[in-house]
Amino acid sequence: MSAVDVLVLGGPDTGKSHYAGQLLGRLRYNRQGVLKLRPGGADDLNKFEEVLRCLEEGRTAGHTPTETWMGMKCQLETRNGAEVQLEWPDYAGERLDSIVERRILPREWRKSISAAHAWMLFIRPSILKLHEDLLSRPTELNPDQRTLGEHLVKRAGWDDRARYVEMLQMLLFASGQSTFKQISKPRLAVVLSCWDELNEDRTPEKVFQSRMPLLHAFIRSIWSGESWSAWALSSLGRALDPNSRDDEFARRGPENFGYVIPPGSTDQDPDLTSPVAWLLEV
């Protein structure tokens, strides 16, 4: 069995834990997906079990505590019977932000970067913090004449477009990768999360390119074309609340909600395992 680690990258509130909970449910119960969980083939699932229980009650799960660094290990089977081992870390998104802010890469990050064969970058377009510039608002326009739906902030701290580029450069350096030529490893999946919050009918890459052109250009220049992809993700398919129950969601079960939109498509696919399957090349 080949060991494949997926390094999950994403700041606070980008949907990493809810996707992991839904992924666990799909691997267990949905036999129509690309991947399935082997009987008895999982451990270290306490955190994700808690997320899944909240979803089964029709509620969202709480925020991952800042001090948390854990994950799940799964032995998976593909449709053709091949076996792979998935190690999926879970952590508070603030830990990732602090790498760029403090310019320090903690020991657990260095270990994960050196072991990972694939990276999964979660970006939630609806909460991006972007500075105003000539691309977002020409100088002759007033603020109320803007048409973009992004959250523009005063010029303080990092613009998220630059933050993600800086973060990837630091991680590439730590993994021993050169940025002077295109790379094929680690494979990279850019996941635009909480897609149901957007009113978009374009493909994930088109949205990614229009909303984060700097990051899109950087990734295209570093990764070879077949080694990265852009996905849209709505883990729950709708907004849930941590303090009130969605009766329909609970009655039908979380396995009947959520979707991805694959690269180059605008169609919703209920198989939430497909981005992971792409990363694992199965």
Task: Answer positive or negative: Cα dihedral of 218, 148, 16, 90.
Answer: positive
Mean pLDDT of 83-111: 76
Each domain of the chain, given as residue ranges in start order, spans 2-279
Top pLDDT among 246 and 143 is at 246
Helix (H, G, I), strand (E, B) or coil at 83: strand
How does pLDDT run across 17-52, given as a tens digit for each residue? 889 888 888 887 765 678 887 766 666 566 677 888
Which phi-psi region, left, alpha or beta, contains residue 176 (left: φ > 0; alpha: ψ -120 to 50)?
Answer: left
Burial readout 54-89 (b: 16 or more C-beta within 10 A, e: otherwise): bbeebbbbeebeeeebebbebbbbeeeeeebbbbbb
pTM equals 0.84
CA–CA–CA angle 124, 94, 216 (5° rounding)? 40
**Which residue do the tokens 């913090």 mark?**
129
pLDDT > 90 fraction of the chain, expressed in percent and rounded: 35
- The domain 2-279 is placed in CATH, from the list 3.30.460.80, 3.40.50.720, 1.10.10.10, 3.40.50.300, at 3.40.50.300
User: Residues in the chain, how many?
Assistant: 282
